[in-house]
Amino acid sequence: MASMWQTVQAYYSWALENGDKRTDPWLLVYSPLPVALIFSFYLLVVGFGPRIMQKQEPFRLTGVLIIYNFALVVLSAYMFFEFLVTSVRASYSYLCQPVDYSQSELGLRMARVCWWFFFSKVIELLDTIFFIMRKKFDQITFLHVYHHATMIFNWWSGVKYVAGGQSFFIGMLNSFVHIFMYLYYGLAVMGPRTRKYLWWKRYLTILQLSQFLAIAVHTSYNLFTDCDFPDGFNAVVFFYILSLIVLFSNFYFQTYISEKRKKAT
């Protein structure tokens, strides 16, 4: 037993010390413990929050949500711009792009936007907390919790070990989609006066599914070709994206096809 514990400690020390030296000093990056604590707190809120709110009046939060959602629109637009411009200026390949671990201007610029993308996933955990405070419990589905909780770990490991390279494609696409997603949420919270502008919810889901398919194709290509990017990361991303495709496809079917058939019947 002691030997097993020593092995775990040795592996943990190795994992800490073999990250990207550029990103290790940055907030929440060096050790997985802060992210694990955030993850644990998030699950506690998901588990006990609805019970605590059961006998409480729902919070309105209209002003807070307008600021929150439109702030995330701005942040997403900034990250998309940084991913796109940096990758173009650095002549990134869309087929195979190793990580630039240098201290160059563009290498650090890409690493920084990867960190911002990771940190945005921590911020987005507030989506769930706001649902609970507003007693929108039907929005807290398995898909919602799974996606939010796992993204912080996925992108912590991305910033810790591969801040750039192939990762830029995922961050760039997801930031683009989130511009429209948080724009939709921001308009939705403004009430009936903006409802006529929200006819495109179905197309937003299609856009989300399209990004997952693009990421799956992009990642799988690198699993079967010789590319100087860790196969382990590509494999994890590929199977994770497949899980999201399955879950979002089910959401699309249940929301837009099954419900439509029920109404028609």
From residue 63, alpha-carbon distances to 59, 68, 130, 173, 184 in Å are 11, 9, 12, 29, 15
**Residue keyed to tokens 């009430």:** 191
Distance CA 41, CA 35 (A): 10
Sign of dihedral through CA atoms 219, 223, 224, 225?
A: positive
CB 241 within 8 A of CB 219: yes
Distance CA 47, CA 127 (A): 15
Residue 6 dihedral angles phi and psi, to the nearest 5°: -65, -40
144 is a catalytic site residue: no
CB 138 within 8 A of CB 158: no
Q: 147, 148, 178, 218: which one is catalytic?
A: 147
**Residue keyed to tokens 């694990």:** 36
End-to-end CA distance of the chain: 62
Residues ≥6 apart with Cβ < 8 Å to 255: 205
Residues in the chain: 265
What are the residue numbers of the active site?
A: 147
